[in-house]
Amino acid sequence: MGKLELTLRVNGTDYPVVVDPGTTLLEVLRGQLDFTGVKQGCDGTGECGACTVLLDGKSVNSCLVLAMNAVGKEITTIEGLAKGTELNPLQKAFMDYGAVQCGFCTPGMILAAKGLLDEDPELTREDIKDGLRGNLCRCTGYVKIIDAVEHVAHEMSAGGKEK
């Protein structure tokens, strides 16, 4: 099978790409489209979560999704969360709570957390721990990460809206 011509919708913009059938979404986002917030950590085994993106609002490991399977879906990367210079509440909370440390896991953590909060904004601390289980932090910054997500969950359940 030869090359495939696809159009991927990333952060609200359509991008034409040419890929081999086995090309992953991670390879296209990072390698072809230069969305460097999508990190490669585990060499495509889906074990680290550094490549997490939202696919139609659900968090997925982009190293496990073929690019051709993302056609017709909305892909959101960390670069697509802020509205201009206004950070998404999760991005702001990660900064405020010191949950960024080295930053390598941060985009994947934030997108995984966004997927969780979009499903259920009334998460408990245990729900957050469980929901982020597939995202690894080599700096072991889990307490601050969970604190940041818990803060946004509390704001959302108190009537604030996370967008």
CA distance 129 to 67: 29
Using a cut of 0.85, tell me whether the model's pTM lies above it: yes
Q: What is the pLDDT along the chain (163 residues), one digit of tens a residue?
A: 699 999 999 999 999 999 999 999 999 999 999 999 999 999 888 999 999 999 999 999 999 999 999 999 999 999 999 999 999 999 999 999 999 989 999 999 999 999 999 999 999 999 999 999 999 998 887 999 999 999 999 999 887 655 4
Domains (range + CATH), the chain:
4-80 (3.10.20.30), 89-157 (1.10.150.120)
Can you tell me the distance from the alpha carbon of 16 to that of 110, in angstroms, rounded to the nearest whole number? 27
